[in-house]
Each structure stands twice: as structure tokens, then as C-alpha cells.
Amino acid sequence: MPETADTNAAVWKSDIGVSFWKSRDYDKARQDAERRTLMAELLPFAPDEPFTFVDLGAGTGAAARTILDHYSAARAVLADFSPQMMAQGEVELAPYAGRYGYVEFDLTAEDAWPADIPARVDAVISSLAVHHLKDDRKRSLFAEIRAHLAPGGWYLNYDPVTPPDAVVEEAWLRAGDRRDPAAAHKRAHRTPEEQFRYENHVRYMIPLEPQVGFLRAARFEGVDVFWKELDFVIYGGRRPLDG
């Protein structure tokens, strides 16, 4: 997509983002939950082992809640830049009182990690957030994540990606339209608000391969695509034990 004004703040620092997030259809929310469960299962901790993790672009805390459910002694630092999303998150995280804290963090700002995030954490996750960043910022963020991980700490990202070429794009659309016969009609008849959200959604989205390369360039090890289905992926790696 041609370079246009960044609209992340217009979406997520408003009631548009919260209302959209709360109105997602049941199947989409269920699929997201299943993928976040896999992220939790990929982490190397015992169920009752204490550890601290950061959820970047945490929104209302859906991914963090999944980790907290799987690990009874885990503590979450949720980083987000939207007061509206964080306020809704405080409501949804009420059952986890004492096990989490929100910090304000604009992921587009380089080397601006809040002081309330510990200098070293045991894991970092992100869910449906990194694709909103420009390529250079994706690359630098991965390096910052590695610097904040304790040796052996893991980073995992669940996100959408774009197809690497037109043949793959055609296959993805074919499969998606067969799963949802109304999908083509929805694409062709977006409301102005839906079109605005869509353009914001895809503005900085890129294929999978360069993102895996960014992780390797940041000197993560064990880099892998742990799950993929059409345009959604989970990838990540760990900071080496000796570096």
C-alpha cells in the first residue's frame, strides 16, 4: 500500500478500537484464543513456576490472560498506548488483580521502554500488534526485545502477514471465501468505518519471511514459525543462554 498518514492512534486511541474489539464475531475470537493457547504452551515454564513476562501492544489483555491462566505464579506487564483499551483491560483483568500491571508504551517510539518494565524479563509476547509497525521499527523492536530478555528468555508473536506473491494471495482468498461464502461480498461492501479500519490494518503488514529474518538479525536462536494457517502465523525465538 502507498505510504499514507499513520492512523493507528485514530483507531486505537478512540472508542472505535474498543467497540471493534468487543464486536468481533464468535468464530474469530475463538480462533484467536486457540492460537494464544499455543503461545502459552510454547513457553518453557512449569505450571507453578514464578516468572515475569511482557505483553507488547497488550490491548485489553487477551493474550496476557491466557498466559496467566496457564501459569499460576506468572506475573504480567501489559504495555499499550491506548487509554481506551487499557481501561477496558482493567475491567477484563479484574480476576487477576495483583498479578499484572499496565504501563503506557507507544511501540512506534524507539528505545523508549518504560521504567516500569523490568530491565530483564523471562518472556515477551505480542499478539496482533507488530503488523501495525513500519519495517524499520519491527526490526529495531526485535533487537530491543532481545536486550530486555533474560538469557534463555523467549519471544513469541501471533500476527497476520501478507502473501509473498499473487499466486499465494489467490490461494488464500480461495480458501477463505470457501470457508466464509459471504467474505467476497463483505470485501466489496465495506462501510466507511470498516474501510478505514481495514486500511489501518494492512498499511504496514508484510510477508512472513522478512520478519523471521529480522529475528535472526537480532541474534535470536531457535527461530521458527511454530504455527501458520493462511495469513496468520506464530513465530519467535529465544535469547541464547550465553548471550
Burial string for 13-39 (b: 16+ CB within 10 Å, else e) reads eeebbbeebeeeeeeeeeebeebbeeb
Q: pTM to 2 decimals?
A: 0.88
13 pLDDT higher than 60 = no
62 pLDDT higher than 50 = yes
> Does residue 2 belong to any structural domain of this protein?
no
> Does residue 140 belong to any structural domain of this protein?
yes
Domain hosting 19: range is 8-238
Q: How confident is the model at residue 157 (pLDDT cuts 50, 70, 90)?
A: very high
> Does residue 243 belong to any structural domain of this protein?
no
- Determine the Cα–Cα distance for residues 70 and 179; give it in Å rounded to an integer: 31
> Does residue 3 belong to any structural domain of this protein?
no
> Does residue 138 belong to any structural domain of this protein?
yes
225 close to 212: Cβ distance less than 8 angstroms: yes
- For 13, the 3-state DSSP assignment is coil
Provide the number of structural domains found in the chain.
Answer: 1
The CATH code of the domain that includes 29 is 3.40.50.150
Residue 192: exposed, middle, or buried by beta-carbon count in 10 A (0-12, 13-18, 19+)?
A: exposed
